Structures are given as C-alpha cells and as structure tokens.
Amino acid sequence: MGSLVVVIAWVLIRHLLADKNVRASVTSLNLTPPATDLERPNSSSAQTATTEAIPDESLDSFVETYYRNRPITDDVAKVLRSFLRTACHRVPEGSVEILVYFFARIAKDRTDLIRLYEGELSEVTGRGADVLLEILRQAADSRTKGFLESCLRDDSYSSIHRSIAKALDVPFPEFQSALLRPVRSGIDLDLLWIEFLATGSKEPVSKIIDVLNRPDLVGARIQEWLNVPGSRFRQW
C-alpha cells in the first residue's frame, strides 16, 4: 500500500510540474518497438542489423524492475541494443535523456557495463551511435576516453568517426546524480524516479515527496485574483 501511495504522489507531482516541452516520461510510454519495426532504408540513421527483440519484457518493465531483478549483463545488453537500434529513433527527446541517464547510472555501480557499452559501439550508427556515445560520456571511467581515441584510428569504426570525434571534442562531463539537481521541472522529477528505479534508494523518493511541501504559488495567485473587488472570478 505504501509503494502505491508513493507512485500516486509521484504521478500527481509530475503532472503539476509537467514541462510543456516534454509531454511524457519513461514510465508513461511504451518504449518497446514492435519486433518487426525496422528503420526506414532511406533514413540517415538506418541500421543494417536486424533488431534483437527484448525477451519477455518491454523496455518500460525492464527499467521499472531493474533494482529488484538486478538483471545479468547479457540481459542489459539485449535491452540496450533494442533501445539503440529502434526505440531511441522514435521516442520523445526527453525520454531519450531519461534513458541515457538510466544506462549511465547503472554503470556507475557495475563497471562491467561500461565495457559492455564500449563493445556495442561497433554495432550502431547514426542516432543510435550518438546516444550510445552520450551514455559512454556520462558513465565514463579512466579507460573510456582512451578507448574512443583508439576507435578514431580503427577503420572498422569509420562510419561513426565523425560522431566519435565530436564526442571527444568537448570535455567529458562529471556524472551528475539526479539527487544533486534542483527540482524545477518534470524532467527533474523523472530523473529522480529513474534514480530510484536504478538503485532502490529511498532518497530520490523523499525528494519527490518534498515537492508537495512547496508553496502553492498558483493557488495563492488565484486567491489574490478572487479577492480583488470586481474580479471576473468573483462574478463566476
């Protein structure tokens, strides 16, 4: 019952702070592409490999049950491949940002996943490569930059050399936990929720609930209007 209350509270808060530019979150979208849905042949980000279907569960449920199930590396790889080859081409940009954070965050606790991500780089092109490079930039350890530099000298990565060079052109960001971000919009709440789903920690849930304690500025402004003599609201 307690977990249901937390979910309801998150949904209500998420709705109140919804960013008009981010219409949906990872927990309200079916991000799993149909097994037969391949990229259009004339797309600049088309993949030549056949998409590997996610076994037994959607991308949504994989994320939502991650900290409880602690899936093995092979299962993470299958979900990541499906996301990079199909889902990341169609979901809203805000959802891509959320999932980039998710894959980077789980790699912070499992460094074997960083090597997994590096191994997947030769299998993607276009949009998928750009998304994977951003995951690597956020999850990077002491070996990641050297790996990407070696890829620039390797002809087998020639189709994404430009993307790799662009990723290396700016300093790698320090990974910023969602717990350190001020909650200003719906995307910040989504990232806190992903932090919880990735770790099982209670701290991000507490930060979400704390939003309920903020002053109701909208309600206060409406009350001010209602108190103004001759206000149209009073006439209603």
| pLDDT tens-digit map of 187-236 | 899 999 999 999 999 999 999 888 878 777 666 777 776 777 765 555 54
pTM of the model: 0.71
pLDDT, greater one: 21 or 169: 169
State which amino acid sits at residue 217. Answer: L
172: tokens are 């790698």
Specify the residue for token string 């087998």. 156
Residues 27 and 190: their CA atoms lie apart, in Å, by 9
pLDDT at residue 230, as a whole number: 63
Domain limits for position 47:
2-235
Burial class (CB in 10 A: 0-12, 13-18, 19+), 100: buried
Lowest mean pLDDT of 60-69, 87-96, 112-121, name the range: 87-96
Q: Which of 146, 147, 149 is nearest to 120 (CA)?
A: 147
129: tokens are 């490569």
CB 191 within 8 A of CB 178: yes
Could you report the per-residue pLDDT of 135-185, keeping only the tens digit for each? 999 999 999 999 999 999 999 999 999 999 999 998 888 888 999 888 888
Residues 194 and 187: their CA atoms lie apart, in Å, by 10
Alpha helices in 28-160 (DSSP H): 59-64, 66-69, 73-85, 93-109, 112-120, 126-139, 144-152
CB 177 within 8 A of CB 152: no
- Tell me the C-alpha to C-alpha distance, in Å, between residue 149 and each of 107, 129, 169, 189: 21, 15, 11, 35
pLDDT at residue 13, as a whole number: 54
The continuous run of DSSP H or E covering 9 comes out as helix 2-16
Q: Which of 97, 60, 69 is nearest to 181 (CA)?
A: 97
Instruction: Look at the chain and report how many structural domains it folds into.
Output: 1
pLDDT at residue 37, as a whole number: 37
